[in-house]
Amino acid sequence: MGQAGGLVGGAVQTRKIVAWGAAFLAFAHPAAATTLQDMLARDRLAAPAGELAAWQDFAARIAADPAADPATRAQTRLGLAIALYYAKDYPSAWEEIGAARALVDSLPESPDFAPELLAYEAVILTELGRLDEAAARADAALALARAQGEAGLTRQALAHNARGSLAFAQSDLVAAEAAFCTARDLGLAAPRPDHAMIVNDASSCGVVKYFLERPDTLGAMRLAEQHALAHLPPDHPKMGNVLNSAYGVLLRYGRYGEAEPLIRRHLELERRLHAEEVDDIYDPLSMLGRALQLRGNHRDAEGIFAAAAAMADRLRNQSQPYTRGQAHINLARSIAAQGRLDEAVEVARGGVARLAEDLEPGDWHLAAGQVQLADHLERLGQRAEALALADAALAALSAALRADHSEVLTARLVRARILAGLGRHAEALDEARAATARFEEQMFDLAARQEERIALSRILPAAFADHLEVALAAGASEDAVRAAQLALLSDLAVPNARIAAASQARDAGLGALVADLEAAQAQMEDLSAALRRAQADGTGEAGDLAVRLSTAQDHAAAAQAALEAAFPGFAALARPRIPSLDDMQRELEQGELLMLPLALPARAVTIAVSRTDVHWADTAITPGAVEALATRLRDAAQSPLHGAFDVDAAQALFEIVFPDALRPALDRADTLIFPASGYLARLSPAVLLAGAADPAHLADAPWLVKSHALRVLAEPGAPRPAQAAAETARGFLGVGAPEMLPGAADRAVLRGGTLELPPLPRAREELAALAAAVSGGAGTAHGSAPALVLAGAEATEERLAALDLSAFGVIAFATHGLVGGDVPGLDEPALLLTATDPARSDADGLLTASEIAAMRLAADWVILSACETAAGESASAPGYSGLARAFAQAGARSLMLSHWRVRDDAAAILSVETLRRAAEGEGRAEALRQAQLALMARADVPDAAHPAVWAPFVILDN
């Protein structure tokens, strides 16, 4: 029956993103039935084409049967009407239901299926846009069903579903929430539950809660997913709701790369199910555009949104009347992101015009579209019109939604930026501060309390970019630096906060409760990842995984509640901390300069903070152009071709990071500190060129590393890590040189297959040299510190699991690093060890990020002398989000990571020389810098002056 439709895009920020499809994959229905009872026992929510054919055949036979009584004929016409409704043929459905109504009205008394007839009259009228008539039918259906007592619970649920569909079409989300959730609960309580309809109502309940941003949204979505997986066959059409719930949550949590395969699976299945265009295809199509847009792929997103907008214009969805206009608003956003603002304004105007035509005045969807148009107009400098639109929209949104709803906060931030452009700086700052304070509180509380991982680094930037624009225009340094920190918050901030909270809880004697919570969360993350893989692949194990995940989720929730009851401050401590400007400057030493480079919608801005000053400068360029330049430089840096290198890209990016106005501050600094996020997160700033260079003589090029030591901080402004001299006090653990099959290239046996990898002939030698640098390095006071090396056959997960890893101050891995997708079924980064049993996850030779996160370390330094250890969950994920986050969560204080595949000889030289210098008392950043410069100058190392050889490593202080 009716279900909440898909919100396609919504807010300018990333917080309003979910869409629901209705029917899904076709499945084999029973053979043609011979009696009405056989037909009524069928699943009306099965594949629409099959159900319609079955009911058409049965209705023809009943029509030709002179012995069929009027009640049988009426119920048959109702069944055919329902099949036509789910096949999206609403005019024919209304014709059939009219025939059923005429027959029922001719009966001497009302039949027991009368409430069902009224409920379906209501939903079909809703689809036809006849909302007043629909309301009367829905109310009558509920009254009749209530009179039937417990036997009418399922029909009461149908009536509430009809009410929910009507309320949703009228944009009354509160009423829709109450109706759909009540329908779900009544269905669950019915003596003979209609499981497919329960999933339908539960999904609708969840999506409306999502639109309203209720705190119990995730629980509602889980109920729908788990009920479907427990009671429906794996190819049931309503499994589309399950996929939709899954990717809706992932998008809300900023995990866009994980969401995209589920969206594509949903779209594929809907296209197989429906021969013609229907809103069930439009919803995942539009959400695919949204996922691409959120990942910064605006060109492909534009193509998807253009197709979705054309489809929406043709469909003219009556139960989701905002769809047509919203589709054009989405398209305008992708066009604007590519810098074509004039075109974006015209497309957005068309979207707003469609919303005004299709909706009642004051509808919040219309207001949200007006905010988007105002946003584009402001960027074009047309601020008077933009302010009038924003003021009207904000009033409508505030009347319809909570004050802390993301649509309201988005409108306030756009209005603040307009006010700043008009020179009304005090008003603009007040508006921006109030909006971002509410949003920050929501997101940080969600991250602290939610057992599933939240990728704040992908959710926060859009909101805080607006605050930053306002602060810079007003010259408000404190606001600007805070907004910049929030916009650049890395994925390491949340686990770091949880680590700090857990540490205090352990100090309070609650170690057992902490361990229980962390184990439950680790298990839940593993099962959740496995379930999403199974759903994306369409495998049959999803049901079992869902049951196990539900148990793990309940365990994690109970563990969190127990810990918070025993330690009430835990949740507050687990929120990320954003230091004030004063606190940040106190952490900086003389000669250090904290760099905060950001790509805003129309310009790149860099804020530079020293102990005493704050400077900023900008360059007119779109975020897409900045990202393209950074990608171009990364590609050039990791691909040596006989000394060739893209010096133009390296110099151009340097000029964006360091505009002329910042050069004096740069010249006064000797150490530069960068955040572990932003457009530089996937390459080392060391490869930036401060001037012209000859690609044939790279050793002489003015690399940034030649003039400055470079640090990357997980959280700028956090307390400084322990001094390097302390690293050798507790000994060294080296792991690597895993055993693989012999051959022309090494081959690792992984999960039943093999992976071709380059050899690591120096890995064992490198680990031995690192051990010597720690335990016997010149100038150290810890010559007796223990050193343990696990190499070859000993480099196994089992050997690691048997160690007390907290006993080691330095831990080094010399092996291959893998990113998600390198191995079938591997959707997270991993380190390659020696496999002892490829069939077991704890012995398959893949030390995954989730397994690392569950370790308990106390290392001052972890060295990952491996390939792409700074990479994210996959090749498209932001840097520092994968193994880096895992080791940070495990307790590592500083990490030495590689951004791309490192040549074995270069890795050995850089890691050993860096650690040797650090052990002698040199700062980590300076130690790496000197090691890089020394390697760059070596004539005996092929291509030593190319960044592919000397520049892959960065020091990440956590």
pLDDT-derived band at 530, boundaries 50, 70, 90: confident
Tokens of 950: 């000397």
- So what's the pLDDT on residue 371? 97
- So what's the pLDDT on residue 537? 76
Q: Are residues 743 and 781 in the same domain?
A: yes
CA distance 290 to 267: 13
Give the residue, 610 or 823, on which the prediction is more confident.
Answer: 610
User: 306: Cβ–Cβ under 8 A, 6 or more apart, which residues?
Assistant: 331
Residue 567 lies in a domain: yes
For 290-323, what is each residue's pLDDT tens digit?
999 988 889 999 999 999 999 999 988 777 889 9
**Residue pair 614/607 in contact by the 8 Å Cβ criterion:** yes
**Residue pair 467/859 in contact by the 8 Å Cβ criterion:** no
Range with the lowest mean pLDDT among 25-34, 215-224, 941-950?
25-34
Residue 97 lies in a domain: no
Range with the lowest mean pLDDT among 264-278, 611-625, 703-717, 864-878?
864-878
Task: Please determine, for residue 725, whether its predicted confidence score (pLDDT) is greater than 50.
Answer: no
Last residue of a domain, one of 906, 922, 938: 922
For 118-155, what is each residue's pLDDT tens digit?
999 999 999 999 999 999 999 999 999 999 998 889 99
Q: Are residues 709 and 778 in the same domain?
A: no
Q: Are residues 569 and 604 in the same domain?
A: no
Residue 938 lies in a domain: no
For 913-931, what is each residue's pLDDT tens digit?
988 888 888 888 899 999 9
Q: Are residues 874 and 783 in the same domain?
A: yes
CA distance 378 to 637: 38
Q: Are residues 759 and 815 in the same domain?
A: yes
Q: Where are the alpha helices (DSSP H) in 359-381?
A: 364-379
Range with the lowest mean pLDDT among 244-248, 328-332, 735-739?
244-248
In the block, which residue shows the tokens 């590592």? Answer: 892
- What does pTM read for this prediction? 0.80
Residue 807 lies in a domain: yes
Last residue of a domain, one of 664, 688, 713: 713
Q: Where is mean pLDDT largest: 98-102, 738-742, 795-799, 815-819? A: 98-102
Q: Are residues 513 and 562 in the same domain?
A: yes
Residue 485 lies in a domain: no
Q: Are residues 536 and 629 in the same domain?
A: no
- So what's the pLDDT on residue 726? 44
CA distance 197 to 674: 52
Q: Are residues 729 and 850 in the same domain?
A: yes
Q: Where are the alpha helices (DSSP H) in 742-848?
A: 763-775, 797-801
Q: Are residues 705 and 819 in the same domain?
A: no
Q: Are residues 776 and 706 in the same domain?
A: no
Give the residue, 871 or 796, on which the prediction is more confident.
Answer: 796
| Torsion 539-545-550-553 (CA) sign | negative
Residue 678 lies in a domain: yes
- So what's the pLDDT on residue 429? 97
The whole domain housing 503 covers: 493-573
In the block, which residue shows the tokens 């495990």? Answer: 890
pLDDT-derived band at 717, boundaries 50, 70, 90: low
3-state secondary structure 67-88: CCCHHHHHHHHHHHHHHHHHCC
Last residue of a domain, one of 713, 742, 761: 713
- So what's the pLDDT on residue 881? 57
Q: Are residues 731 and 656 in the same domain?
A: no
Chain mean pLDDT for the chain: 84
Domain count, the chain: 3
Residue 539 buriedness (CB in 10 A; 0-12 / 13-18 / 19+): exposed
Residue 694 lies in a domain: yes
Task: Please determine, for residue 933, whether its predicted confidence score (pLDDT) is greater than 50.
Answer: yes
- So what's the pLDDT on residue 823? 62
Range with the lowest mean pLDDT among 151-160, 352-361, 695-704, 885-894?
885-894
User: 546: Cβ–Cβ under 8 A, 6 or more apart, which residues?
Assistant: 225, 226, 229, 230, 531
Residue 139 lies in a domain: no
Q: Are residues 543 and 497 in the same domain?
A: yes
CA distance 440 to 437: 5
